[in-house]
Amino acid sequence: MTLDIFIANTDAEIQACFPVFHELRPHIEADQFLAQVRRQQTQSYQILAVRQQGTVKSVAGFRFAEFLAWGKVLYIDDLATLSGETSQGFAGALLDWLIEHAQAHGCPGVHLDSGYQRHHAHRLYLNKGFRLSSHHFSLTFNI
């Protein structure tokens, strides 16, 4: 069966991605999602999605960014697949597209952070050639 991989640009395409994002980011409400994505798009954020039989199955939020540590990279903010649809190659297809996209734009690498408990995702990343290269630390404030 053919996969339709596309950049979500229209409001309808972005909204169609919400159910997948909501599984990864349950704190984001449907009525806030489009506005949040539009704000992030001003910072080069884009959504890559894979659709099969009219349903978005997997999504990747990404951006190009420059860092002193790595230079210009494609950074993956989000990568998720609908529960019940995992292990069918959807996320792998998105990663392959993103890796090619990064190379085509002169990036020396692709970077992402992943929750320490997401072992299934880590296996996919390692199989695609990613390596575990750092720990991510965060400090959260109540504002």
> What digits encode the pLDDT tens for the residues 109-129?
998 876 666 656 666 666 777
- Here the CATH number for the domain that contains residue 54 is 3.40.630.30
Nearby residues of 109 by Cβ (< 8 Å), 6 or more positions away: 70, 71, 73, 74, 102
Q: Examine residue 117 and state whether it is found in any structural domain, yes or no.
A: yes
* pLDDT score for 1: 60
Q: Examine residue 123 and state whether it is found in any structural domain, yes or no.
A: yes
Q: Examine residue 139 and state whether it is found in any structural domain, yes or no.
A: no
0.85 surpassed by pTM = yes
Q: Examine residue 78 and state whether it is found in any structural domain, yes or no.
A: yes
Q: Examine residue 114 and state whether it is found in any structural domain, yes or no.
A: yes
Q: Examine residue 141 and state whether it is found in any structural domain, yes or no.
A: no
Mean of the per-residue pLDDT values of the chain? 89
* pLDDT score for 14: 98
Q: Examine residue 8 and state whether it is found in any structural domain, yes or no.
A: yes
* Domains in the chain, number: 1
Q: Name the residue range of residue 91's domain.
A: 4-127
User: Which stretches in the chain have pLDDT values below 50?
Assistant: none
Q: Examine residue 110 and state whether it is found in any structural domain, yes or no.
A: yes
